[in-house]
A and B are shown apart, each in its own frame.
Chain A
Amino acid sequence: MTDVYAAVCIAELLIVGLLLIRLARGPSVTDRIVALNTISTQCGLAVLFFAAFADRTIYLDVALWLSSFSYLGAIVWARYLERGLL
Chain B
Amino acid sequence: MTLAVVIILCAVGLFFSLSGVVGILRMPDVYTRVQCSSKTITLGALPLLAALVVAEGPVSPYGSRALIVAALLLIVNPLASHALVRAAYKTGVPMWSGAVADEPAEQRANDERADDD
Interface residues, chain A, with chain B CB atoms under 8 Å away: 1, 4, 7-8, 11-12, 15, 18-19, 21-22, 28, 30-31, 33-35, 37-38, 41-42, 44-45, 48-49, 51-52, 57, 60, 63-64, 67-68, 71, 74-75, 77-79, 81-82
Contact = CB atoms under 8 A, between A and B. Distances in A.
Given A42-B17, A75-B80, A82 B6 contact: no
24 contacts: A8-B48, A12-B14, A15-B21, A18-B22, A19-B25, A30-B30, A30-B84, A34-B33, A34-B84, A35-B24, A37-B84, A38-B24, A38-B37, A41-B45, A45-B69, A48-B62, A48-B69, A51-B62, A68-B72, A74-B80, A78-B80, A81-B88, A81-B90, A82-B87
Interface size class of B (residues with CB under 8 A): 35 or more
A14 B7 CA distance: 18
Contacts of B24: 19, 22, 34-35, 38
A43 to B, nearest CB: 12
Given A18-B21, A28-B93, A45-B69, 19 more contacts: A1-B6, A4-B51, A8-B51, A15-B21, A28-B30, A30-B91, A31-B33, A34-B24, A37-B80, A37-B84, A48-B66, A48-B69, A51-B62, A52-B56, A64-B65, A64-B69, A67-B69, A75-B83, A82-B90
Contact of A77 (B14, B62, B84): B84
B10 A78 contact: no
A15 B87 contact: no
Contacts of A28: 30, 88, 93
B55 A52 contact: yes
* A contact face: mostly helix, strand, loop, or mixed: helix
Q: Which 5 A-B pairs have the closest CB atoms?
A: A78-B83, A81-B87, A74-B80, A78-B87, A30-B88
Contacts of B90: 81-82
B98 interface: no
Nearest to A42: B17
